[in-house]
Structure 1
Amino acid sequence: MELTVFGATGGVGREIVRQALSAGHRVTAVVRDPARLPVTGAGVEVVRADLGDPGAVRAAVAGRDAVLSGLGARTRKAQGVTTRLTRTVLAAMEAERVRRLVVVSAAPVGPPAEGEGAVDRLVLGVVSAVLKDIYADLREMEGELARSAVDWTSVRPPRLQDKPLTGVYRRVIGGFPPKGRFLGRADVAHAMLAAVGDEGTVREGVGVAY
């Protein structure tokens, strides 16, 4: 497939690019600073673009089979950035008639796991309070997805870890795995790439965790 990856220099984005290339896909990696993307290969095209430039974003998605986004605010000071950038991506996809989009979000944005215990509810409540601005941004981003015409999937992991790819994790469409507290960034990328061809995840949030 021909894929475009936004946020390609982030922890999840780099893994998406790496794993997509290993699977034989051709990847357009959209970045602000190419020096921050260590992934190279014959199948990757690195495009330096400002995501505030609609024309550049349209050119990056034109003719692609799917778009994957690792975009996200890294600090509370960047509140609203994910929603703003995602709006630009959605407008470009709709203009170019590219249908498939998979984004990374976060577990607290979706519904809690069924039968969640008191400890897990407490932990989730504390984390949600500390990072409330970031999660508010992600909720608004998901609102933009829901209002769009694209075939989107939002992958919602819990706390992220830097761990090797396992390919072994739990997944709940429309919900979240009970007692799911961690997931490696490499496995988040794996789940996102798996969702691209999974029609059961279209216009759904997908909770993922070990």
Structure 2
Amino acid sequence: MKLAVFGANSSTGRHLTEQALAAGHTVTAVVRRPGEFPLSDPHLRTCGADVTDRDAVERAIAGQDAVVSILGVPYGRRPVTVLSRGITHITDAMALHGVKRLVTVTSRLLAVHADRTAGEEPLRERFMYRRVIYPFLTTLGRTLYDDMVRMEQIVRATDLDWTIVRPSALFNTDTVSPYHFGPPQSPGLYTSRIDLAHSLLTEVTGNEHVHSVVAVFTTQGVPTFGDVLKKEVMRIGSWDHK
């Protein structure tokens, strides 16, 4: 399969690129700064493109069989539009070039966000997480989650064979574990980046969850909530495994 990966220079994107190459796929790693991308392989093409540049996105998608989007930005107070703008350019380019299969990443916290999709079930988590911790995080990252909602709406409105994957709190490990898929409301507090990458490759090369939103979460070797809060949200310290 010829696979374009947007956000390939993220931790999850690098894992996905390595896993896809190891499985025999041809990968186009779409990154803003190609000179900083650390991977190389005869079946890897590094493509410099900003997702806000429609023409660059079209060039990256031409000739591909499928697309994975791992776009992301950190929490901040300013309005976020890069996710919705980027996915618009990606889906438009896919339609233009006849590329049908799309897998994209948002967040399991959309299930508690104020602007979540109408009719979506609440998360099946303990009271403290549902009513205190998760609302705090979605308030802290409101501009990001607002744009994730817009991104999901854009994807759902297309005629593509799309899958939206919602991970839980992200952390780093070195090896793929027996992670689980489930409905968006399924309980599961953590998702390792390497498991997320593997789940994206599983989805984009298969058709099990086409036109579906699925959660993916790790159950073995998970960190404490305090570790995730400090290292992922507050950016204090670092993980033992990069």
Flag whether TM exceeds 0.5 (same fold): yes
C-alpha contact (below 8 Å) 2:7/2:69 kept by paired residues? yes
Q: Does 1:100 align with 2:108?
A: no
Q: CA deviation at 1:78?
A: 6.2
What SS is found at the alignment partner of 2:208? helix
Structure 1 residues 55-64 or 80-89, which shifts more?
Answer: 55-64
Structure 2 Cα separation of the partners of residues 124 and 171 of structure 1? 20
Structure 2 Cα separation of the partners of residues 36 and 185 of structure 1? 20
C-alpha contact (below 8 Å) 1:165/1:184 kept by paired residues? no
Structure 1 residues 86-95 or 193-202, which shifts more?
Answer: 193-202
Structure 2 Cα separation of the partners of residues 175 and 32 of structure 1? 31
Number of equivalenced pairs: 207
Runs of at least 5 residues in structure 1 that lack an aligned partner in the other structure: none
Cα RMSD of the aligned pairs, angstroms, is 1.6
- Counterpart in the other structure of 1:109: 110
**Within 5 Å, which residues of 2 pair with 1:90-169?**
90-110=91-111, 111-114=121-124, 116-121=125-130, 122-169=132-179
Give me the TM-score of the superposition, normalised by structure 1.
Answer: 0.92
Q: CA deviation at 1:135?
A: 0.9
Report the structure number with the largest CA radius of gyration.
2
Q: Does 1:184 align with 2:192?
A: yes
Structure 1 residues 198-207 or 51-60, which shifts more?
Answer: 51-60
**Within 5 Å, which residues of 2 pair with 1:185-200?**
185-200=193-208
| Distance change >3 Å, CA 176–CA 19, structure 1 → 2 | farther
Q: CA deviation at 1:95?
A: 0.6
Q: Does 1:9 align with 2:9?
A: yes
Structure 2 Cα separation of the partners of residues 194 and 66 of structure 1? 12
C-alpha contact (below 8 Å) 2:4/2:28 kept by paired residues? yes
Structure 1 residues 131-140 or 117-126, which shifts more?
Answer: 117-126
C-alpha contact (below 8 Å) 1:16/1:193 kept by paired residues? yes
Q: CA deviation at 1:59?
A: 1.9
- Counterpart in the other structure of 2:180: 170
Q: Which amino acid is 1:126 matched to?
A: F
- Counterpart in the other structure of 2:62: 62
Q: Which amino acid is 2:174 matched to?
A: P
- Counterpart in the other structure of 1:207: 215
Q: CA deviation at 1:188?
A: 0.7
Structure 2 Cα separation of the partners of residues 176 and 18 of structure 1? 30
1:91-141 Cα shifts (integer Å, max 9, x gaps): 100111100011111001244334x32122132222222111111110110
Q: CA deviation at 1:36?
A: 2.4
Give me the TM-score of the superposition, normalised by structure 2.
Answer: 0.80
**Within 5 Å, which residues of 2 pair with 1:30-45?**
30-45=30-45
C-alpha contact (below 8 Å) 2:52/2:82 kept by paired residues? no
1:171-192 Cα shifts (integer Å, max 9, x gaps): 11x42431x1111111111111
Structure 2 Cα separation of the partners of residues 145 and 181 of structure 1? 25
Q: Which amino acid is 1:87 matched to?
A: T
Structure 2 Cα separation of the partners of residues 90 and 71 of structure 1? 13
Q: CA deviation at 1:158?
A: 1.2
- Counterpart in the other structure of 2:221: none
Q: CA deviation at 1:24?
A: 1.1
C-alpha contact (below 8 Å) 2:107/2:167 kept by paired residues? yes
